[in-house]
Structure 1
Amino acid sequence: MALIVFSDLDGTLLDHGSYAWAPAAPALDALRARGVPLVLATSKTSAEVASLHAELKLGDTPAIVENGAGLYRPGAQAQGGDDYARIRQALANVTPDLRASFEGFGDVDAARIAEMTGLSEDAAALAQKRLFSEPGRWTGTAADLSDFKEMLAVSGIEARYGGRFLTLSLGRTKADAMAEVKADLGGTTTIALGDAPNDIEMLEAADRAVIVRNDHGTGLPHLAGEDTGRIRRTKAPGPTGWAEAVLALLDELDKDASHG
């Protein structure tokens, strides 16, 4: 069995408020001891992921960035930028009344992003180095949001919620990127962990999946895989729940292998 673990960051491996991952250390050590690749799958940019990737000692393992729209490959030059330009142009074409209700990362400075996210200004500046997607805050009504999405769809742009923001992209999901990375790494079995609507496709595509409790996020509806036990939910939030779930799944897979 060639196991690969795919994990969202904010509210999942990282604490929603502090962005700390320390409670997950025992499970991270267990993955490392087994030689199981951990693939980060996040809305963050390659520039943001690079330092955390190194801190977690993930080696040459790629990471899924900007909600699946791109991949971060350690040591490789970042590719892209055309997608982001296309999204910004589509925003410019939205009627002014609807456009005024969306505050994107490209509309503000690093200080404002720091205020919106709780990141330091240096970290917020890295969050602005976008190549494939545009997160932001929607302040209008639900009806206006529907109109906003329809106008963007004319340009091939999709808008969906993650843990904190409404993110605009060309539609490639974390599941699409997961399939690519799985093939690249020769994986046969996948575990995915996430907490937000933009994780649903990835959770549903994995062999086993975990919805990590996040009392601050949008939350996830009941997924079909929960009826069979293929998808489970954690009781504890963030990295604490993440670690408990990963260790439990590793134990179950070990037992399955020994009985096989």
Structure 2
Amino acid sequence: MTILVFTDLDGTLLDHETYSFAPALPAIRALKERGAIIVLASSKTAPEIADLHDALGLGDMPIIAENGAALMTRDQITTQSDAYRDLRHALDGLPGELRRCFTGFGDMDVAGVAASTGLPLAQAAKARARAFSEPGIWTGSEAQEEAFVSALSRSGISARRGGRYLTLSFGGTKAGQMQAVIDRYRPDLTIALGDAPNDREMIETADIGVVIHNTHGNGLPALAGEKDGTIRRTQAEGPAGWNEAILAILADYEKEEG
């Protein structure tokens, strides 16, 4: 049985405050014992994800980076792209009353990104090395945000809200990249785990979706799949919830196989 697991990182596989995945290790080991393919899918940059990818020993398993703006393997990681330059150009061309409401990573120095994310400086530098997308803090009203998103859409730029940031890109979603990976591996079972609105499509695309409990930002509302059990919610947050969900799913399938 081929199992394909797609997982968000911050607030899901990684603790929101410490960025540790230690509580999820029992489930990670159980997946590896079954030969499961674990795909890290995050708004993080590929250089950021690479460190975790290596720490988990995921080899040539695919990486979905920058909120779905890029799909690559470990040896394809790059920080060079015209997309980011074009995105920043469009952003800076907005009316001042909208532009000043958005503070992107490109508007901060490394110390600013570190202060915003809670990352050490070395990791913050990797988070700031954008190639395909621009996360940022929105400080305007809902009406201004609608105008901001509408103005950027005329340049082909979309905006998606995650747990902390509003992320801009020229397209590509976690769910879209997820489907490309599914088409490649043709798994028997797909599982997707996330905690924020930008994970919704990925969670709903999987055979079994898991909403990780989130008390730190914008969580997910009730989803249709919860009625028939194809979408589950955890009691615990972050990697503890991840561990809880994966072990429960594997136990259920072991019963069916038995």
Q: 1:79: how far off?
A: 7.3
Q: 1:190: how far off?
A: 0.5
Q: Could you say what the CA RMSD is over the residues aligned between the two structures, in angstroms?
A: 1.2
What do residues 149-194 of structure 1 show as CA deviations (whole Å, max 9, x unaligned)? 1110111111121011010012311000101112222323200000
Q: Is the 8 A contact 2:193 2:203 kept in 1?
A: yes
Q: What is the DSSP-based 3-state SS (H/G/I as helix, E as strand, rest coil) of the residue aligned with 1:239?
A: helix
Q: What is the DSSP-based 3-state SS (H/G/I as helix, E as strand, rest coil) of the residue aligned with 2:155?
A: coil
Q: Distance in 1 between matches of 2:216 and 2:84?
A: 28
What letter corresponds to residue 27 of structure 1 in structure 2? A
What do residues 106-163 of structure 1 show as CA deviations (whole Å, max 9, x unaligned)? 1110000000000011100000111111000001111111111111011111112101
Q: Which stretch shifts more, 123-132 or 81-90?
A: 81-90
Q: Distance in 2 between matches of 1:90 and 1:99?
A: 10
What residue number does 2:106 align with?
106
Q: Distance in 2 between matches of 1:218 and 1:251?
A: 30
Q: Distance in 1 between matches of 2:2 and 2:182?
A: 10
Q: Distance in 2 between matches of 1:169 and 1:152?
A: 10
Q: Distance in 2 between matches of 1:226 and 1:114?
A: 37
Q: What is the DSSP-based 3-state SS (H/G/I as helix, E as strand, rest coil) of the residue aligned with 1:13?
A: coil
Number of residue pairs the alignment of both structures matches: 258
What residue number does 2:150 align with?
150
Question: TM-score, normalising length from structure 1?
Answer: 0.96
Q: Is the 8 A contact 2:47 2:77 kept in 1?
A: no
What letter corresponds to residue 231 of structure 1 in structure 2? I
Change (3 A) 1:99 1:108: same
Change (3 A) 1:102 1:174: same
Question: TM-score, normalising length from structure 2?
Answer: 0.97
Q: Distance in 1 between matches of 2:125 and 2:49?
A: 13
Report sequence identity in percent.
53
What letter corresponds to residue 250 of structure 1 in structure 2? L
What letter corresponds to residue 39 of structure 1 in structure 2? V
Q: What is the DSSP-based 3-state SS (H/G/I as helix, E as strand, rest coil) of the residue aligned with 1:4?
A: strand
Q: Is the 8 A contact 2:110 2:124 kept in 1?
A: yes
Contiguous gaps of at least 5 residues in structure 2: none
* Mapping of residues 29-48 of structure 1, within 5 Å: 29-48=29-48
What residue number does 1:93 align with?
93
Contiguous gaps of at least 5 residues in structure 1: none
What residue number does 1:199 align with?
199
Q: Is the 8 A contact 1:16 1:214 kept in 2?
A: no
